[in-house]
Structure 1
């Protein structure tokens, strides 16, 4: 798909009339989209080779991010064009505040992470950049801009979650349950709806607006990769120059 990276959505459709707007977003986000969904960290979750220290780093960062994700969903609920869209987003927000929070607490205990550690943890620079882009796009941006960032985040997790769900589960419950949370039919249905919503909204945007949305999705893909990389290596990865200018 390399010949599509700098092309418009209209050009993408001319080459493949059956393509979806979200297909175009993923194509325009390469190589970052594939780097995120195929990151060694995600494969280590599935095959059970995840070092405890790396997963603890990851969970602490993700735990600090949950409130920002909830705020992002709240902004999108307010901006969603219809009641059915508001209901979908609200239902996911309710799920996020219940099932995932319980998972974090049990996993921290199993990994020996003390409450004072995760309750007082400050976001690392990669997590902060990730959260800032989501909050800015959903809070100050348009519905389409916020939706593009959310689609990227959730679709990325569904992609690797479904891949790892097709393999034998690792013994550690905090790894196997994390796979299940991102491969359950309910989560898959929500991401399917997110893509459909983005397809519909994106197709109605002007060419300039579509390009802006594509750049946001691309930036989010790079940050998804950086988030996994930071947990995997215990270092803060530098984003490519194209994102440092935004």
Structure 2
């Protein structure tokens, strides 16, 4: 699965953290159906709240953008999050008797606060590339996880989750975000971004967000 040229460089720079994230016990529990339902629902409620803040972060990216193409791409991602991805959370929780009003009013877990505020701070204190590096692990990591689980998993209670992130629409979003990042990196850092003094900082942003993803999965498994 190819999401551009920058993503694999950042993914490699994240080292073991990337595998800890994409092959976490929570993820493997969805793959083979052994994930406890209460853990999945706890995660799903928190992920709904996460996506609220994530949408705000992508809206912030519109204000950090330098071109109309960047603005349009970020605005389209906000729309996809609010109108498409969050639908999975609302419909699944509704089947369990949890309304969207209850989702929105739920208390944020510390791991959720740590992750979402880190991403927002990356955007407020940094520039467009800082924000993209902090956003990328979630968007592109879920695409990678969804595609792998769709290929490996048989029918499990979490097939709807897997299908959402393996879907053509979500995979297209990942490719579009990958292209957005590539163009933004080339525009700001030139043809050899790894030679830029900014490169280690961007890799560190990506790695930190990846470690926060690991903590987010762990929250779902916590008692």
> Using the alignment, how far apart are the partners of 1:154 and 1:115 within structure 2?
23
Shift of 1:79: 1.8
- Any gaps of 5 or more consecutive residues in structure 1? 1-18, 235-246
Instruction: Tell me if structure 1 keeps the 8 A contact 2:123–2:131.
Output: yes
1:188 corresponds to which of 158, 168, 171: 171
Aligned to 1:242: none
Equivalent residue, structure 2, for 1:13: none
Aligned partner of 1:197 in structure 2 is 180
Q: Residue in 2 aligned with 1:22?
A: 7
Q: Specify the alignment match of 1:220 in structure 2.
A: 209
- Measure, in 1, the Cα distance between the counterparts of 2:80 and 2:36: 28
- 2:116 is aligned with 1:131: yes
- Structure index of larger Rg: 1
* TM-score relative to the length of structure 2: 0.86
Q: For 1:128-155, what per-residue CA distance to the aligned partner results, in whole angstroms no more than 9, with x for missing partners? A: 0100111111233200000111111111
Number of equivalenced pairs: 214
> TM-score, normalised to structure 1's length?
0.79
Shift in alpha-carbon separation, 1:197–1:92, aligned structure 2, 3 A: closer
Alignment of 1:8-157 (within 5 A): 20-113=5-98, 117-157=102-142
Deviation at 1:27, TM superposition (A): 1.5
Give, in angstroms, the shift of residue 116 of structure 1.
6.6
Asked if the contact 2:10–2:203 (Cα under 8 Å) also holds between the matched residues in 1, the reply is yes
Gaps of 5+ in 2: none
For residues 91 and 201 of structure 1, the distance between their equivalents in structure 2, rounded to whole angstroms, comes to 16
Q: Per-residue CA shift, 1:31-68, capped at 9, x if unaligned? A: 11111011121122222222111001101111111221
Task: Give the Cα separation in 2 of the matches to 1:154 and 1:52.
Answer: 24
Q: Is this contact kept in 2: 1:202–1:210, CA < 8 A? A: no
Question: Which stretch of the first structure deviates more once superposed, 98-107 or 108-117?
Answer: 108-117
Does the 8 Å contact 1:165/1:179 carry over to 2?
Answer: yes
Root-mean-square deviation (Å): 2.1
